[in-house]
Structure 1
Amino acid sequence: MVKGWSWLLCNLLLLSTSVYVEVEGNISYKPLPSLREQAQIRDGWLKDRISRIPALLRKHGVDAWLMSQREHAEDTIWWSIKNATDYDAHRRTILLFHTNDSVLEGKPNPIKWVDNTGQAWPELLHILESFNPSRIAINVDQNTAFAGGLHVGEYDAITHALGHRWMQRMVNVPLLGIEYVTTRLDNQLHYYRDMQDIVWMMMEEGFSHRVITPGVTTTEDLSWWFREKMLTLNLSTWNHPRVSVLTEESFPGWTGTEDVIQKGDLLHIDWGITAMGMNTDTQHMAYVLRDGESDVPDSLKQGLKKANRMQDIHLEIMRAGMTGNEVLQKCLAQMKLEGIEGQIYSHPIGDWGHDAGAVIGFTNLPKHVPVLGELTILPSTYYSIELYAYHFIPERNETIRFRIEENSYWDAETERWKFVKGRQENLYVIREPRDSTPLLNVQV
């Protein structure tokens, strides 16, 4: 019998590099590359992304893009243009991206100065006089973080160093930074899928009898279990995992709840991991079986199904070229036709958990979002499809918000967004501890 299990396991492992095996209660995670390998991969992506900036400048009608930042006071864009092994800008770091390959032949793009003596300013001035750009983008937008990261002190330093003549040529071009940050590369998707696999596997383990003992384990215990587990997998995060017991009142749940998990509880997590310069954002739900129950109550299944239908509507309507508000209003109209009550608050995701680009609703702005909702949705981006559906649970006499979130990518062939891994269509079930019989659970 042992020989038979070994033969089956070996053959299953050969089917795919994305195989996970659970034997005797232990879950095996597929690891990401080593940190050293990740740095090499990320720097390759960075080289590709930066090489596209001159064309992006031309698209937005500017000749150059000037950034200046100091250590611990970086421009928001810095985090998307730095090398994988850089953690801060050194001294004062000045970057000049340009479109002129003739006058500046032989010079790198961007031209970079790292300086704490002031010598960089006359050199920058000399470059500008040689190049003579008519429009220079600087990141001074008042409404968008990805286009407004130039610190006031650095703006004053630039003004003092370059003078009125050059400051008249400085322009605010919000879409420049937004488009650079939010555009994803095709070869990032493979690793983003691997990250999603890890996220789902962590939730399968966390929402199980291995971690949760009803009547003992608290939602805070579970939140910190996820934080500790990330460290063992060489991951970090951009937000603390928020675990809640869902009730009629538990929303928006920015900090989770502080409950002892009991049998019959409907649990929810909102969290993300950070790896390889990318971020995830996921919301899933779980149910703790009551004594005598062998399955999730139908009313809870129907609530999740309703939220799944909202996801369908969202992806069917969402298209590049639409504004976030246009997508939102069309989704709400279709939900009304189908008798679904709920809310959508989706956002781009990638370099940041809440990334650059058009948002589709906010929790406090359910029908129209000024500025960010009026941005045009760009292709080649990742979006976090985040929403909830109201559903009445008769046995609880409560209307619960079924809150789910999945990450999606732009599929160029179909010109639609598709889920990176899939979506939650069944609640995790937390059962009584099983016996010690070896368990084989394979996902391919």
Structure 2
Amino acid sequence: MLGFALSSVLAQLHPDTPARYRPLPPLREQARLQNEWRDMRLARVPALLQKYGVDAWLISQREYAEDTVWRAIRDATADSPHRRTVHLFHTNTSSLGGAPNPLTWIDNTGAIWPALTSILEQYNPRTIALNVDKDLNYASGLHVGELRALQEHLGVEWKQKIVDVPRMMVVEFLGPRMEGQKEWFGVLMENAWAIIEEAFSARVVKPGVTTTIDVEWFMRDRIQSLNLTTWAHPRVSIVTPSKEPGWEGSSSLIHEGDVLHVDYGVSAPLMALHTDTQHLAYVLRASEGERTPPVGLVEGLRVSNRMQELQLEVMRPGMTGNEVLRKINERMMEEGIEGQVFSHPLGDWGHGPGAVTGFNNLPTHVPVIGDLMILPDTFYSIELFAYHTLLGTNTTLRFMQEEDVWWVPEKGCWEWVHGRQERLHIIDAAPEEKRFDSMLRVQS
């Protein structure tokens, strides 16, 4: 028997009503909002540079070979840097006379280099940070060709002042969500739920006819119909005892009695918003008169729900991902839960910059990104699975769940963005009249 009792829930749970399809603003308004959020982010740069002892931050890229950071500072209607685009962030001291931050040059003739060095001579920074970190992807976006060009054209004096950009400076620049993003993230999250609820229903799934790939492409079509896209294609699979935790789908034919799993991410790219969700469904054995899922499946979902609670009880801003992971593993051991956590931030990317709590192949410690700090104004995806052996059988399944949260400073806790799955999605292929007869029998 598991050594835990169900605790009080930290926030909103499984919603009582079905999710609704909710429109996002027109694209023009989405672009306006994204540019507004970008400007808020850029306004924080001088203070970040000062915090991390950096005088200048230089970003250089060319068309279709952009720096990772460029996506966070671009105009919402720009798909790629134009020609060679160079940005110089600075601490806005009087030596530049209130110059824009960043200073930007766009050129394809080579005239950019004397203009840049002229500004450097005027500003005279002690350090110039480049995005060349060998371990953190968000801090390593400078392409090798651009690095060589900088080394060739900057001159010895400025090359000697080049340093690797501080990791946490990049994370603090890219990770936090701006005021106003939260409202629209909630709308996007409800759409993600609505798509799952429709896909995992008898309207879409016909046992013995529908395959998991059919469900995947139904979801893609529905996403597109909402003027949204994906950063992670829906991967639908049948949960089996031998299935390793992963993200591949399958081409399996769906039958009654199957447990279905989906993992996918919905994106509103103009607003730089991305969800990440994993849910489970059960296909009733309707031909045998089954009206509810087996008790063992309900219990298994309950165990993974408890793991979610443990993470939210443990995880606090300022902790590193590895500190959180260690405490979760300790709590799971105390309560007799077997499973694994591999949670991550959400931001301008589905796998956003910031502290990771575990990896599928790194269950106890994650180098580099596991040692980053959790930020309070970052959306976070609680991703995990629990092992559970079904009652009266030797069958052990992985109950894989993923749900998104945000930090609520007034309450000092994380809350689910749209709730969390506490009930299996039920696919009932019984004819409508049989469902009604069954309901009458249950009521009587």
Q: TM-score, normalised by structure 2?
A: 0.91
Unaligned regions of 5+ residues in structure 2, if any? 1-14, 434-444
Say whether residues 1:232 and 2:212 are aligned partners: no
8 A Cα contact 2:20 2:190, kept in partner: no
Aligned with 1:388: secondary structure? strand
8 A Cα contact 1:310 1:389, kept in partner: yes
TM-superposed CA distance for 1:420, in Å, is: 1.0
Which position in structure 2 is the counterpart of 1:82? 74
Which one of 213, 236, 239 corresponds to residue 206 of structure 2? 213
TM-superposed CA distance for 1:378, in Å, is: 1.8
Cα distance change on mapping 1:226 and 1:375 into 2, 3 Å: same
Cα distance change on mapping 1:434 and 1:90 into 2, 3 Å: farther
TM-superposed CA distance for 1:184, in Å, is: 1.0
Cα distance change on mapping 1:28 and 1:318 into 2, 3 Å: closer
In 1: Cα distance, 2:321 partner to 2:282 partner: 33
TM-superposed CA distance for 1:107, in Å, is: 2.2
8 A Cα contact 1:357 1:372, kept in partner: yes
TM-superposition CA deviations, 1:68-95 (whole Å, max 9, x none): 0001111011111111111111100000
8 A Cα contact 1:301 1:426, kept in partner: yes
TM-superposed CA distance for 1:395, in Å, is: 5.7
Which letter does structure 2 place at the counterpart of 1:231?
A: Q
Which position in structure 2 is the counterpart of 1:7? none
Aligned with 1:332: secondary structure? helix
Which letter does structure 1 place at the counterpart of 2:278?
A: Q
Aligned with 1:241: secondary structure? strand
In 2: Cα distance, 1:61 partner to 1:21 partner: 51
Q: TM-score, normalised by structure 1?
A: 0.91
Aligned with 2:81: secondary structure? coil
TM-superposition CA deviations, 1:252-272 (whole Å, max 9, x none): 232212210100000000001
Say whether residues 1:249 and 2:246 are aligned partners: no
Say whether residues 1:315 and 2:312 are aligned partners: yes
8 A Cα contact 1:215 1:261, kept in partner: yes
Aligned-pair identity in percent equals 52
Which position in structure 2 is the counterpart of 1:326? 323
8 A Cα contact 2:238 2:261, kept in partner: yes
In 2: Cα distance, 1:395 partner to 1:155 partner: 63
User: Mapping of 1:30-429 within 5 angstroms?
Assistant: 30-172=22-164, 173-275=166-268, 276-290=271-285, 291-394=288-391, 397-429=394-426
Which position in structure 2 is the counterpart of 1:12? none
In 2: Cα distance, 1:29 partner to 1:416 partner: 28
8 A Cα contact 1:242 1:255, kept in partner: yes
TM-superposition CA deviations, 1:81-140 (whole Å, max 9, x none): 111111111100000011033121242111111110111110010000000010111100
Cα distance change on mapping 1:391 and 1:123 into 2, 3 Å: same
TM-superposition CA deviations, 1:142-164 (whole Å, max 9, x none): 00011011011101101111112
Cα distance change on mapping 1:188 and 1:202 into 2, 3 Å: same
Cα distance change on mapping 1:92 and 1:20 into 2, 3 Å: farther
Unaligned regions of 5+ residues in structure 1, if any? 1-18, 437-444
Aligned with 1:166: secondary structure? helix
In 1: Cα distance, 2:157 partner to 2:218 partner: 57
8 A Cα contact 2:283 2:426, kept in partner: yes
TM-superposed CA distance for 1:330, in Å, is: 0.5
Number of aligned residue pairs: 416
In 2: Cα distance, 1:70 partner to 1:231 partner: 30
Aligned with 2:324: secondary structure? helix
